[in-house]
Amino acid sequence: MLVISSLVWLPSADVEADRSELWWVLDVALGLVAFVVVFFRRRHPFAIAIALALVSAVSGTAGGPAVLAAVSLATRRRWREIAVVGSLNFAAAQFFSTMTSNEDDPAWLILAANAIATGAMLGWGMYIGSRRELIWTLRNRAERAEAEQELRVGQARSNERARIAREMHDVLAHRISQISMYAGALAYREDLTPAETRASAGVIRDQAHEALTDLRDVLGVLRDDTGERHSAPQPTYADLPCLVAEARDSGLRVELEDLVGEDGPKVPDAAGRTVYRIVQEGMTNVRKHAPGALLTVRITGTPEDGIDVVLRNPLGFGPTQTPGAGLGLIGLTERAELRGGRLEARRDGSMFVLHGWIPWST
């Protein structure tokens, strides 16, 4: 402001003094007031810009504050305000230049100089406003992207915890139900021979060992960057006969009718793993709620129609010793839906039916 006021006022100071000493004093006084008033331009930008533009018509020292007020107003990029303030500044500059110029200066030169100066002033203000908006937009985008990234990380962490919880339920509930069944038999059977007691205790020990191994494998996901169990391979459809044989060895009555894996194409691992978990959960539910009941498993499907698995068993009689939270079927339903399939549990007369459908996809 000081530089602009000096460039405007110093060449015209002698002319003002020659014409009237009062004008010279008034120019300096109005300039000092303008230097104070311009600091309030952010509260009332339009009014102060108009007032300083009018003052600059008779005061060269007010030229600097008038330019700053006009540039500050132009940063708002409101065309009506810019047009009014720009016109007033141009008229004020033209009036002051005409009153203080020498007679030798051509009028067109003064007009062109004032027009260029006014256009440059307003253009510079609009450029500053555009740059401020761009910087604000970029900062806002960066903050929003950072917030979205934190949200995605939180969602991924929550999804991973849910996946680990489902996996822990799937692999542990099956083992724990077997341990509970054998422990219940030892508690109520008093006619067992020492050899039979040792055999049952050995089964409990083996199942507990398997449960600990599965638990260690699942918790290993927390340290594995790939998110997969690394101590043991994930089960597939080919492991289903082993699951049924293991269940039969533990005393569970199971009938398996597999119409997919006999002569059909190989079941994809992801789909087969989901079917494996459904059958495993059905066995766990029978041990918990219908001990001694016959569980029938029927699996059909083709690559075009998907895999259909139906588990049926009679309803249990009375309470059981193994508690259940009801989360197994909920987790399996979520697992099936994530695969694009569905799972439903219902009562059909005196039978409990677990019916699932999984799409055949690679």
Q: Between 101 and 22, where is the model more confident?
A: 22
CA angle 308, 163, 327 (to 5 degrees): 70
At 286, the pLDDT band (50, 70, 90 cuts) reads confident
pLDDT at position 233 is: 60
Give the type of residue at 72. Answer: S
Average predicted confidence (pLDDT) for the chain? 81
Of 209-213, 229-233, 240-244, 314-318, where does the model show the most confidence?
A: 240-244
In CATH terms, is domain 236-362 a member of 3.30.565.10?
A: yes
- HSE (CB half, 13 Å, CA atoms) of 361? 9
Residue 225 is given by DSSP the state T
pLDDT at position 111 is: 85
Q: What is the mean pLDDT of residues 264-270?
A: 81
- Rounded CA-CA distance 202/212 in Å is 15
pLDDT at position 328 is: 66
CA angle 159, 331, 329 (to 5 degrees): 170
What share of the chain has pLDDT > 90, as a percent? 14
pLDDT at position 319 is: 47
The domains of the chain are located at 2-105, 236-362
Of 149-158, 166-175, 187-196, 291-300, where does the model show the most confidence?
A: 291-300
Q: Model's pTM, two decimal places? A: 0.45
